[in-house]
């Protein structure tokens, strides 16, 4: 999924997350190598990423509430969001 899976809506902002599962594969020598998984949360306004990545859902929710209190919205022509 390109922008992540929908998790929660806070006002006009969406909380989305991407989850990558851990993988075990053989490297070029033939030994098993384990690649750890990860989870990242982002705050979106429509299809535009406003902040992130965050390590937990709670941090993303707090960031979205802070952005709501400051009335920050995505603007295509704005240099600073």
pLDDT tens-digit series, residues 26-78: 999 999 999 999 999 999 998 899 998 999 999 999 999 999 999 888 888 76
- Give which of 43, 53, 48 is closest to 15, Cα–Cα: 43
> pTM for the whole thing?
0.77
Structure tokens at 14: 């969406």
Per-residue model confidence (pLDDT) at position 74: 87
Look over the chain and give the mean of its residue pLDDT values, rounded to a whole number.
90
The conformational region for residue 36 under phi > 0 = left, psi -120 to 50 = alpha, else beta, is beta
């Amino acid at each position: 999924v390109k922008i992540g899976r929908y998790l929660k809506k806070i006002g006009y902002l969406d909380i989305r997350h991407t989850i990558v599962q851990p993988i075990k594969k053989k490297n070029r020598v033939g030994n098993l190598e384990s690649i750890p998984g990860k989870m990242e949360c982002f705050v979106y306004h429509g299809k535009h990423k406003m902040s992130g990545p965050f390590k937990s859902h709670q941090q993303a929710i707090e960031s979205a509430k802070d952005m709501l209190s400051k009335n920050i919205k995505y603007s295509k022509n704005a240099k600073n969001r």
